[in-house]
């Protein structure tokens, strides 16, 4: 038996539900349409899909909400990858001190009384 040219139905359904981004869950026809457009599948893939969806619901990987499917807790979790050590953080450059300019009060001009401003 040859290996299929597509990922497992579990992976494909997860990708379909994530890509469709439906708040209330993705319907079977929507999932089937996505899979048909995205992957090269055999002619009977809709029948296989329905049995796989039932199996995924039994295993708890999918949740059935009315006539739609949402990801269960197991599929929501990202696959565990070994964590890389965080790169050492560079120290922030020391901030330059900001010198505030102080405005000095302007003294009133002492104009001679004979100046045109003082004339009535």
**Distance, CA of 69 to CA of 28 (rounded, Å):** 8
pLDDT number for residue 11: 83
The pLDDT tens digits along the chain (120 residues) read 556 677 787 888 888 888 888 888 888 888 888 888 888 888 888 888 888 888 888 888 888 888 888 887 766 665 554 445 555 566 666 667 777 777 766 666 665 566 566 555
Domain parsing of the chain, residue ranges: 9-76
pLDDT number for residue 100: 73
64 with 71: CB under 8 angstroms?
no
Torsion from C-alpha of 111, 115, 117, 120, nearest 10 degrees? 130
Q: Residue 86 burial by CB count (10 A; 0-12/13-18/19+): exposed, middle or buried? A: exposed
Apex 64 CA angle, 34 and 80, nearest 5: 70
CATH number of 9-76: 1.10.10.10
């Amino acid at each position: 038996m040859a290996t299929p040219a597509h990922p497992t139905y579990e992976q494909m359904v997860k990708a379909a539900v994530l890509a469709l981004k439906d708040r209330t869950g993705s319907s079977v026809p929507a999932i089937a349409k996505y899979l048909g457009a995205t992957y090269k599948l055999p002619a009977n893939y809709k029948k296989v899909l329905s049995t796989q969806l039932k199996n995924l619901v039994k295993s708890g990987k999918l949740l059935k909400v009315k006539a739609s499917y949402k990801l269960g807790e197991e599929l929501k979790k990202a696959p565990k990858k070994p964590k890389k050590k965080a790169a050492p953080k560079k120290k922030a450059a020391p901030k330059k001190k900001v010198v505030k300019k102080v405005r000095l009060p302007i003294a009133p001009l002492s104009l001679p009384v004979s100046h045109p401003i003082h004339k009535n």
